[in-house]
Every structure is written in structure tokens, then in C-alpha cells.
């Protein structure tokens, strides 16, 4: 490889991060090809394990794992399972080696907290440590790191996604995008093969299962349907074995299952599981309560019988996803396997049974998601025209109605970004407030769905019951994150909406954590804030410059003057690097000054993308088929990887 000469003027590299249940990986794109970076452990795969030492030190990866048997309560692995979950969720109660803080109130129960003895820590903070480590590895190897694309299971709900975004923020990353893991995998394979067709991504990771059906057509990856189980994965295989082992260890009773014992059993189970992929029978010595040891023996056939019920659950999700996509298994052109658990021979066999064909596994199933994330990060950073990912809403969004039923506002598998409106009215005279409960899930009753947020619409003008028209708008963006706004229509006023998320950390809590983290380091909080503001402002100035070079003709003379004036002052302020507030203000002003122009440029972009129609005609119109084909052909021939 040629000497990697660091060019200080080169734009910062964008990175992709697979924040996995068992392992996390950071990757970037070099010469159009994805490459995994080396973690602090010296290998690409960083165990998603974090150890919190007694003296406030934090260890990530193998170093942390070394502590898992000695002090399991201070060593957190599989934090991903707990992201976005409350203290009372079913998942929180399952077999695990952690101690949890008993919540003091309903509010407190919104976030699960690990009890480390001298301190508590949330899953978001744990994940942030992993992200920080990967970020540091990237900085060490790339010198200048820009934004990051972080992957999440396709089946993650809004709470779990927000938690991931929060973790990124806490780690000091600029999160460019949250990307669904199966889509990332498809991107990695699709860009490899460049073949159009229908693909199924069967993603069985440590803690989650996702099935996604996609179509790749002329550079557009479109998700048709998605399904899965956010509480089913390779870890469950370990658990099934561990439960058998605990019997041999004479620790069937719950009181005997101390965190240390459970940790030993899970560790042994994981080893056995891996070995059974190579040999047909495994025997292992396990410590028994009382001091001696006992032999645990298991055959591959027995293991397969143990995991078949888990695989059946995946089969059910696959069938549902195929039905949602209105496809038969036979119509799928390729099945992509993702996740370490797919190395188990029985899993491959099962997948072949469900889809009637052998799966593709050329790309390392442990790295493929990180590769996809890196590719997407590269596409976003270079504003590439080459590929587009169109994802879907994985779970229906709805509102709780009188009696506890769910009124589905947005059905699952709707292409995002997407919006919907619902109109409500008051049921009592002079009712000035209205309570709305937003839920996510497929069940009929609100209590069986995931609670996302409660709204209190206040300040409704007093009226006769049934007269008020309260319009609630839902917007789901490209990250699959939900935003809700409300308007009272009869008066035309946007009323105050107070959103109380039912889960997760508030902005204040995160700010506090950030300040806390800085306190433990040497950084000045204000300095960091200023630096971040300058970076954002520089980006904006650069983008505006770029736009002026191509589309200045769409600006009227007074507009152009204004934009140039604001831009000049913004640049001066960035140079001076002292007044964060003033820079923010200038960014808002630039935003304002370029709004109308942005609309005109968008129209131009539409016309460029869909050739053929008369410029005077409606901007958002599409030409006839021949025109589109010709355009795409010409477009394909011109696109290259060089800037």
C-alpha cells in the first residue's frame, strides 16, 4: 500500500459504525471499497463489552471482557438489548448477570439503570463508551474524522433509535444517519454485484432478528417489507444451553444463580455453541456448587433440537414479511445472511428450507453491516448521485383511543420519510386540554404496544364539545425518527404541545452527562461547544458556496447580495472563533436568506433527475418512459467515483 500521507486540507472522512450486540466495528471507504478499521484491541471486531472500574476508569473490548467473570455487575455486555427500554420491560427481567436500580417512581422507570455499586449507568452511556472507543480508533488511523452512520436493527422502535442517536451524541459523534442493518448489508452486497433483483436479508445477530425484503433497481435500493424480533438472537441460543448447564452445575434454583455463576454458564455456552459448528459432540467440565466439577456433554443434534423453536420464530417473521411484500419465497433472487449466529450450520439449513435456495455469504457476516454503513457514510459525505436507499417504517404508529384500542395512523412497511394527520375533537364543553398517547406496534390494544409519548395539547379555546378541530401531524424522517406537532384548526393557531416521551433520557439528562464527562476529562465544555459550532458553520458555508457555483442564476440580485453579505460575516466569525451565539444567529440568518432559493434549486434538481418535460410545466412531473430510460442510461455512463 502507498504511504498514507496526511493532507490537512483533505475533508474529514466519514465512517460507518456497526453497533452490535456482541461486537462493534468501525469502517470507512477507500477507493470506493469498504474497509474495516482496527479497534483498540488490535482487530476489527471490538467486543461490545464495557467495564466500569472502581476508580472511575472505563475499559472497552477484550480488556473489559477479562473482568466479566470476576465482577460481572460492573461489566456490561449486550447493552444493546437494553437500549430504549424501561426498568419494567419484560426484556429487562430476563436471564442476565446484572443488577438493576430499583426505580423510585414511574418517571424513574422510563430508563433502565445498571447498578454498578458506586454509581449507576444507563445503556445509552454504555453504548456511548463503545462509540467513543471506535471513534478514537478511527481518529488514530484516519487523523480527521467527519460524520458517522450508525446502524440499528430494522425492527428497532422509535425509543430504541432515539437511544442510539443519544449515545452517538454523548460520544461526541456527528450522527449523519441511523441506518437499518439489513439495508446496510444489502448495500454492501448490491454494490458488489450490481445486479438488479429481489433480495431477502436474514439477519440473526446476538440479540435481534431482522428479516428484510428489498428490491434493487437501477441504483435504488427499496425496502418492500421488514419484520423480525428485537428480542431474539444468538444470545438466546447461549441462554438455552446455559440453562441446561446450570442444572449440571447444581444451580437450578434462582437463589443459587449468582451473577458470577450465570456469567460462567453463559461463557461456557457460547464456547460450546461455536465448537458445535465444527464438531458433532462437545464435552466440557463445569464447576459444581459445592466445589467439585461435573461434565456437560451435548451433541449437535441435541443443540439443534434446542434451537429449532427459536428458528421457527424467525420462520414466522419471514413468512409475514414475504406476505407484506406480496411475494412468494420462490421470487427471491438472493438471500443474504448477516450476523455471527448465521454461522451455525442448522441456521443455514433452515434458511435454505424457508427460501428454497442456498444463501449468499461471500462477505464476512460479521463485517458486512459495517461495510454497508461505511458505504452509506461515503455516499452522504460526497453527496453521491449513484445510489439511493429507500427504507420503511418497521412498526405501525398509532394513537390510543377511548377504550384503549389503537387507531393506526401509519401502517408498518410504509416507505419513509412519511407523514400523516389525524383530527380529534373535544368531548366536553369548554375542554381546554387534550391528552394524546402515541404508541408503536401491531397489537389491537394500546397497552400491548410500545408507548412512545404522551401529549398534552393545551390552550384549546373554550368551545362546545365536538366543535374543536385538533389536528395532530406525524412526521417520520429518513432515520425513522418520529416528530409530532399539533394544531387547533378552528382558530388556526399552532397550540402549545408538551411531549412527554414515555421512555428514554431527556435533553437535560444528556446535557448533564456531557458536562459530567467533560469534568472527568480536561476539556472545557464551552470550548468544545464553540468548536462544534464552528465546524457546523464551516460546513454550511461550504455548502452554500457550492450551491452558488452551480445555481447562482436562480437568485435575484437583492437576494444574492443578502446571501453574500451574511456568508462574508459568517466566515469572519468562524475565523475569529470566539462568539458561538453570534455564529448560531448568522447560521439562522443564512438559513432564512436561502430558503426560497432552496425551493427553486430543488425544482431544478427534480427536472434534472427526470428528463424530458417542458421546463414551464409543473416542476414535479415525470417524463414518459423513453425519456427516463435515456436519462438513466446517460446518467449511468457519466457517474464515476472521482469528484
Partner 1 sequence: MTDPFDLFDVEPAYDLDLGELERRHRNLSRALHPDRYAGRPAAERRQALGRSIEVNDAWRVLRDPVRRAEALLARLGAPASENQSPPTDEELLMEMLELREELSTARQKHDPEAVIRVSGKVRQRQARLSDRMAADFRAALDQKAESVEGRDRFDTLLQQLAELRYYRKFLEDAAVVEDELY
Query: Closest approach of Cβ 499 to partner 1, in Å?
Result: 19
Among 351, 472, 484, 540, binds partner 1 (CB under 8 A): 540
Of the candidates 274, 278, 427, 377, the residue with the CA atom closest to the CA atom of residue 30: 377
Q: Three-state secondary structure along 337-366?
A: EECHHHHCHHHHHHHHHHHCCCCECCCCCC
CB within 8 A of 256, min separation 6: which ones? 250, 289
User: What span, in angstroms and rounded, lies between the C-alpha atoms of 296 and 282?
Assistant: 8
Q: Which is nearer to partner 1, 419 or 501 (CB)?
A: 419
Q: How far is the CB of 539 from partner 1 (least distance, A)?
A: 7
Give the nearer residue to partner 1 in terms of CB position, either 358 or 444.
444
Cβ nearer to partner 1, comparing 130 with 149: 149
Cα–Cα dist 330/8, whole Å: 52
Residue 488's H or E segment, with its range, is strand 482-488
Question: Which residue of the set 129, 158, 203, 391 is catalytic?
Answer: 203
Residue 10 binds partner 1, judged by CB under 8 A? no
Q: Segment near partner 1 (CB under 8 A), from 181-189, 348-356, 411-419, 484-492?
A: 411-419
Residue from the set 283, 388, 489, 630 that interacts with partner 1 by CB under 8 A: 388
Cα-trace Rg, the chain: 26
Residue 271 backbone phi and psi in degrees, to 5: -60, -50
Regarding 415 and contact with partner 1 (CB under 8 A), the answer is yes
Chain positions 163 to 182 lying near partner 1, rule: CB under 8 A, are 176-177
Q: What three-state secondary structure class fits 217?
A: strand
Site for partner 1 in 420-439 (CB under 8 A): 420
- Within 8 A by CB and 6+ apart from 3, the residues are none
Q: Which stretch binds partner 1 (CB under 8 A): 109-117, 256-264, 342-350, 622-630?
A: 622-630
Phi, psi of 642 (to 5 degrees): -80, 140
Q: Based on the residue annotation, tell me whether 181 is a catalytic residue of this protein.
A: yes
Member of 343, 357, 469, 601 binding partner 1 (CB under 8 A): 601
**Total site size for partner 1, rule CB under 8 A:** 57
Q: Which of 166, 181, 366, 400 is catalytic?
A: 181
* 75, 127, 180, 594: which one binds partner 1 (CB under 8 A): 594
74 versus 165: smaller Cβ distance to partner 1 = 165
Helix (H, G, I), strand (E, B) or coil at 266: helix
Least Å from the CB of residue 558 to partner 1: 18
Complex with partner 1: residue 535 or 547, whichever CB lies closer = 547
CB within 8 A of 435, min separation 6: which ones?
454, 455, 456, 457
Are 189 and 214 in contact, with CB atoms under 8 Å apart? no
Which of these segments, 124-132, 166-174, 428-436, 606-614, binds partner 1 (CB under 8 A)?
Answer: 606-614
* Residue 7 CB, nearest approach to partner 1 (Å): 19
Distances (CA, A) of 628 to 306, 542, 634: 53, 32, 10
The binder of partner 1 chosen from 547, 548, 560, 585 (CB under 8 A): 547
Alpha carbon separation from 615 to 84, 394, 604, 608, 611 (Å, rounded): 48, 38, 9, 10, 10
Partners of 46 in beta bridges:
24
Of 306, 419, 509, 548, which lies in the binding site for partner 1, with binding defined by CB under 8 A?
A: 419
The C-alpha cell at 394 is: 418497521
CA angle 127/169/586 to nearest 5° reads 175
Q: In b/e form, how buried is each residue of 60-74, taking b as 16+ CB within 10 angstroms?
A: bbbebbebbeebbbb
- Interface pick for partner 1 out of 223, 389, 484, 486 (rule CB under 8 A): 389
Q: Which of 390, 405, 499, 531 binds partner 1 (CB under 8 A)?
A: 390
**Segment interacting with partner 1 (CB under 8 A) among 73-81, 155-163, 194-202, 377-385:** 377-385
* Subset of residues 310 to 369 that bind partner 1, contact rule: CB under 8 A: 316, 319-320, 323
Distance of alpha carbon 9 from alpha carbon 2, whole angstroms: 19
Which of the residues are catalytic?
18, 80, 181, 203
Report the interface residues with partner 1, using CB under 8 A. Answer: 176-177, 217-218, 220, 222, 316, 319-320, 323, 379-381, 383, 385, 388-390, 414-420, 475, 477-478, 539-540, 542-544, 546-547, 587, 590-592, 594-595, 598-599, 601-602, 605-606, 608-610, 613, 618, 620-622, 625, 628
Amino acid at each position: 500500500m502507498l504511504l498514507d500521507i496526511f493532507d490537512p486540507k483533505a475533508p474529514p472522512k466519514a465512517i460507518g459504525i456497526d453497533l452490535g450486540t456482541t461486537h462493534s466495528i468501525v469502517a470507512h471507504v477507500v477507493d470506493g471499497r469498504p474497509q474495516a478499521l482496527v479497534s483498540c484491541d488490535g482487530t476489527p471486531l471490538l467486543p461490545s463489552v464495557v467495564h466500569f472500574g472502581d476508580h472511575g476508569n472505563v475499559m472497552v473490548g477484550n480488556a473489559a471482557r477479562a473482568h466479566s467473570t470476576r465482577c460481572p455487575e460492573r461489566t456490561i455486555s449486550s447493552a444493546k438489548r437494553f437500549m430504549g427500554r424501561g426498568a419494567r420491560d419484560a426484556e429487562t427481567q430476563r436471564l442476565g448477570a446484572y443488577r438493576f436500580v430499583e426505580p423510585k417512581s414511574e418517571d424513574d422507570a422510563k430508563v433502565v439503570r445498571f447498578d454498578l455499586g458506586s454509581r449507576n449507568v444507563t445503556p445509552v452511556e454504555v453504548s456511548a463508551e463503545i462509540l467513543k472507543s471506535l471513534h478514537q480508533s478511527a481518529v488514530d488511523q484516519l487523523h480527521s474524522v467527519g460524520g458517522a452512520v450508525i446502524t440499528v436493527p430494522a425492527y428497532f422502535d422509535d425509543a430504541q433509535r432515539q437511544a442510539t442517536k443519544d449515545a452517538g451524541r454523548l460520544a461526541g459523534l456527528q450522527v449523519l444517519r441511523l441506518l437499518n442493518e439489513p439495508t446496510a448489508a444489502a448495500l454492501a452486497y448490491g454494490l458488489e454485484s450490481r445486479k438488479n433483483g429481489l433480495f431477502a436479508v436474514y439477519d440473526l445477530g446476538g440479540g435481534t432478528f431482522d428479516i428484510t425484503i428489498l428490491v434493487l433497481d437501477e441504483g435504488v435500493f427499496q425496502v418492500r417489507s421488514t419484520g423480525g424480533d428485537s428480542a431474539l438472537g444468538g444470545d438466546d441460543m447461549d441462554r438455552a444451553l446455559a440453562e441446561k448447564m446450570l442444572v449440571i452445575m447444581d444451580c437450578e434454583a434462582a437463589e443459587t444463580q449468582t451473577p458470577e455463576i450465570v456469567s460462567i454458564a453463559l461463557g461456557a455456552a457460547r464456547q460450546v455453541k461455536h465448537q458445535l459448528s465444527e464438531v458433532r459432540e462437545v464435552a466440557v467440565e463445569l464447576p459444581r456448587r459445592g466445589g467439585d466439577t461435573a461434565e456437560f456433554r451435548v451433541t449437535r443434534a441435541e443443540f439443534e433440537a434446542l434451537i429449532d423453536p427459536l428458528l421457527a420464530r424467525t420462520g414466522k417473521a419471514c413468512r409475514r414479511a414475504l406476505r407484506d411484500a406480496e411475494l412468494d419465497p420462490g421470487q427471491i433472487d438472493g438471500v443474504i445472511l448477516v450476523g455471527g449466529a448465521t454461522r451455525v450450520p442448522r441456521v443455514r439449513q433452515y434458511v435454505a428450507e424457508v427460501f428454497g435456495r442456498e444463501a449468499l455469504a461471500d462477505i464476512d457476516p460479521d463485517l458486512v453491516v459495517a461495510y454497508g454503513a461505511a458505504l452509506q457514510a461515503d455516499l452522504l459525505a460526497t453527496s453521491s448521485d449513484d445510489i439511493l436507499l429507500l427504507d420503511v417504517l418497521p412498526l405501525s404508529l398509532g394513537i390510543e383511543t377511548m377504550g384503549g384500542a389503537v387507531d393506526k395512523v401509519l401502517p408498518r412497511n410504509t416507505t419513509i420519510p412519511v407523514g400523516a394527520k389525524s383530527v380529534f375533537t373535544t368531548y366536553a364543553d369548554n375542554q381546554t386540554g387534550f391528552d394524546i398517547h402515541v404508541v408503536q406496534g401491531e397489537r389491537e390494544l394500546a397497552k400491548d404496544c410500545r408507548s412512545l409519548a404522551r401529549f398534552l395539547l393545551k390552550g384549546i379555546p373554550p368551545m362546545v364539545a365536538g366543535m374543536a378541530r385538533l389536528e395532530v401531524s406525524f412526521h417520520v424522517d429518513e432515520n425513522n425518527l418520529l416528530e409530532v406537532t399539533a394544531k387547533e384548526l378552528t382558530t388556526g393557531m399552532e397550540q402549545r404541545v408538551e411531549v412527554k416521551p414515555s421512555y428514554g433520557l431527556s435533553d437535560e439528562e444528556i446535557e448533564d452527562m456531557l458536562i459530567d464527562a467533560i469534568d472527568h476529562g480536561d476539556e472545557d465544555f464551552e470550548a468544545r461547544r464553540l468548536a462544534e459550532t464552528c465546524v457546523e458553520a464551516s460546513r454550511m458555508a461550504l455548502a452554500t458556496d457550492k450551491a452558488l457555483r452551480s445555481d447562482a442564476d436562480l437568485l435575484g440580485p437583492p437576494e444574492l447580495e443578502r446571501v453574500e453579505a451574511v456568508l462574508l460575516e459568517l466566515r469572519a466569525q468562524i475565523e475569529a472563533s470566539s462568539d458561538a451565539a453570534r455564529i448560531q444567529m448568522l447560521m439562522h440568518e443564512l438559513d432564512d436568506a436561502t430558503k426560497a432559493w432552496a425551493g427553486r434549486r430543488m425544482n431544478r434538481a427534480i427536472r434534472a433527475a427526470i428528463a424530458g418535460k417542458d421546463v414551464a410545466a409543473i416542476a414535479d412531473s415525470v417524463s414518459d418512459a423513453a425519456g427516463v430510460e435515456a436519462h438513466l442510461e446517460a446518467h449511468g455512463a457519466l457517474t464515476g467515483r472521482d469528484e
